[in-house]
Structure 1
Amino acid sequence: MLIRRETRSDIDAVRTVTSAAFAKSDTSDTLNSSPPPPPVEATLLDELRISDGWLPALSFVATGDRGEVIGHVVCTRGHVGSDLALALGLGPLSVHPAHQGRGVGLALVHAVLGAADAFGESLVALLGSPAYYGRFGFRPAAEYGITAPDPAWGEYFQVRTLTAYQPTVKGPFRYAEPFDRV
């Protein structure tokens, strides 16, 4: 496996991986032969790419032995507090189902966090499983005085501080604009 920055030629493969990773397995409507709509995460990724929040240097793919895209992660521009302190929102993180449980997601998250730190970013926020993301140093955002866009998210809204973090960064977190439509 190789982790590298996404290129324009990866976009279709990333969409395919994201769609497969988030596909619903509901087969209860077997009479309806129309294809299911794309998962919201795939649509979100398309919208993020054309938004002001897109940061190409923080979009990574994992490739398999034959160079095929098997996973993807992205961080986009976010803000914290009324002074709009710069921050990042992580997600979506996608691993093709055939490659899940093999460390692909782990490698992608380590890569994007390392790059974000190297670029001087202060923190990364996400909505996800505390059991999974805790291994990367994510903690409930409330511990840092950062509030989720939706209070119902509770401990699932998490923050990972980076080297440039200043404890004065507090307040509501705001994702890149396309997240508002999810």
Structure 2
Amino acid sequence: MINVDIRPETESDFTAIYEVNRLAFGQASEANLVELLRSGDSFIPELSLVATFEQKIVGHILFTKIKIINEDGSEYESLALAPMAVVPDLQKQGIGGQLIVSGLAKARALGFASVIVLGHEHYYPKFGFVPAKRWNIQSPFEVPSDVFMAIELVEDGLKGVSGTVVYPKAFEMV
């Protein structure tokens, strides 16, 4: 495991964050998504975190505001974890896990009650994520239920919450 320093992004990090996401995903879609989300009202600067190793940005994680809307129109605020990226040559070294743990702690400290992720069904449960169907929370698009997950950051953070997740428009643009 490589220990990294984790801190909120700064404007001078934008180019490096773009490159980390482009390299990690092998395409520019997620890197472009970060840039689009950064300019929207769902963006929370304290929840765009970078991992540095030897003074170089090697990882990035972003949490943005989302809504969960149920059938009667009631809205609940939550966060989306997307994307999370680590440069390819340092993947599987624990950097992503450190980003997730730090990000969840920061989100909790900022008063958020829950996080939603669309991700690997064997990776995210290590951090406490479980299928969102437990709370009758659905994805806005067709995905297997075991990859659409949620975590409560506080006790009963999703109690009484159900419905369909509504992502920021930026997610539709990439």
Instruction: Give the structure-2-normalised TM-score.
Output: 0.92
Residues 53, 177 of structure 1: 8 Å contact kept: no
* Structure with bigger gyration radius: 1
Deviation string for 1:104-163 (max 9, x for gaps)?
A: 000000010001111111110011011000001001110111111113342211101111
Residue identity matched to 2:40 = S
For 1:84 and 1:11, the matched residues in 2 are separated by: 32
1:3 maps to amino acid? I
Q: Deviations over 1:29-54 (max 9, x none)?
A: xxxxxxxxx42111111111111111
Structure 1: gaps of 5 or more residues: 24-37
Q: Report whether the alignment pairs 1:22 with 2:25.
A: yes
Counterpart of 1:6? 9
The answer to whether structure 1 residue 73 and structure 2 residue 56 are counterparts is no
After the TM superposition, list the runs of 4 or more consecutive aligned residues in structure 1 that deviate by more than 6 angstroms: none
Quick check: which one's strand share is greater? Answer: 2
CA RMSD of aligned residues (A): 1.2
Quick one: distance in 2 between partners of 1:172 and 1:94? 26
CA contact (8 A) 1:127 1:153 kept: no
Structure 1 residues 29-82: Cα deviation after superposition (integer angstroms, max 9, x where no partner):
xxxxxxxxx4211111111111111111101000012x1100000100101123
| SS in structure 2 of the partner of residue 113 of structure 1 | helix
Aligned-pair distance for 1:83?
2.0
The Cα offsets for residues 88-119 of structure 1, whole Å up to 9 and x where unpaired, read as 00010000011111110000000100011111
1:179 deviates by 1.0
The change in CA–CA distance for 1:106 and 1:155 in structure 2 (over 3 A counts) is: same
Counterparts of residues 127-166 of structure 1 (less than 5 Å): 127-163=118-154, 165-166=157-158
In the comparison of the two structures, how many residue pairs are matched?
A: 167
Give the match for residue 174 of structure 1.
166
Q: Is the 8 A contact 1:130 1:138 kept in 2?
A: no
CA distance in 2, matches of 1:42, 1:179: 12
